[in-house]
Amino acid sequence: MRSDTQRTSPRSGPALVALAVDLDRTLLPPDVGTVRSAPSILRAVQRMGVRVVLVSGREHSVLSEFSRRLRYIDALVAENGAVVEAPLGDRVRRVGRATGLRVRQRLSGRPWARAEYGDVVASVPRVLRSRVVPIVKDLGVELVPNVDRVMILPKGVSKASGMQLALAGLHLPGGRYAAIGDGENDLPLLRAATISAAVHNAHPRVRARVDYVCRASYDAGVAEFVRGPLTRALRGRDVVPRH
């Protein structure tokens, strides 16, 4: 855990090149159909010379629609890292499709599992996790909690691995990035980031493991992070956590 008093400075090396930002309950409040202030926030990030990568558990088709509404997006990481489009308009990469197909075949005959499927990733209600594990555990998968559901991912696939593919697609391999999110499935992405943040409404596990906890929730929290810690980091100054 990073303490309230710890000061975090960007590690020595190149400047931050990208911001990885989660969509649901981070940029987009629940039950809100509009993107509100998010486009202006992301535009400000790009004007700093930082690429913007939208990272989500949602399917690629849904994320593509949001990217058009958000406008200032350089790359997409969908299905929790399994589907990557970087840069926008380039070919879409899908990681672990064979594993995803095997999971679908196992679950398709079990309607009680209430499974939902993307191109690669399946998800089931969180309360059914213990019943699903014996069915898929030999397929080389990991089960990752995401609010009220559990995502079934090919082993090794995470938002962090998807972000690395996105950076490579943007010709920024090994680039240092900042990240902000709210959910348990964001943890690998946040741990791998040079500077990490959680919006105020984030899960307690996430709040306990980031460099900066925003005072504001949702898109207002993202704006707070961009105008404060991210701007300070780009200027080579300390990031002071707020809890």
Looking at residue 6, what is its pLDDT? Answer: 38
What are the pLDDT digits (tens) for 106-153? 999 999 999 999 999 999 999 999 999 999 999 999 999 988 999 999
Write the secondary structure of the chain as one string of H (helix), E (strand) and C (coil). Answer: CCCCCCCECCCCCCCEEEEEEECECCCECCCCCCCCCHHHHHHHHHHCCCEEEEECCCCHHHHHHHHHHHCCCCEEEEHHHCEEECCCCCCEEECCHHHHHHHHHHHHCCHHHCCEECCCCEEEEHHHHHHHHHHHHHHCEEEEEECCEEEEEECCCCHHHHHHHHHHHCCCCCCEEEEEECCHHHHHHHHHCCEEEECCCCCHHHHCCCCEECCCCHHHHHHHHHHHHHHHHHCCCCECCCC
Prior bond of 154 cis (ω within 30°) = no
Write out the residue limits of the CATH 3.40.50.1000 domain(s) in the chain: 16-94+157-234
Over its length of 243 residues, how does the chain's per-residue pLDDT go in tens digits? Answer: 343 333 344 444 458 999 999 999 999 998 766 667 889 999 999 999 999 999 999 999 999 999 999 999 999 999 999 999 999 999 999 999 999 999 999 999 999 999 999 999 999 999 999 999 999 999 999 999 988 999 999 999 999 999 999 999 999 987 899 999 999 999 999 999 999 999 999 999 999 999 999 999 999 999 999 999 999 999 886 655 555
Looking at residue 235, what is its pLDDT? Answer: 87
Domain 16-94+157-234 has CATH 3.40.50.1000: yes
Looking at residue 4, what is its pLDDT? Answer: 35
Looking at residue 67, what is its pLDDT? Answer: 93
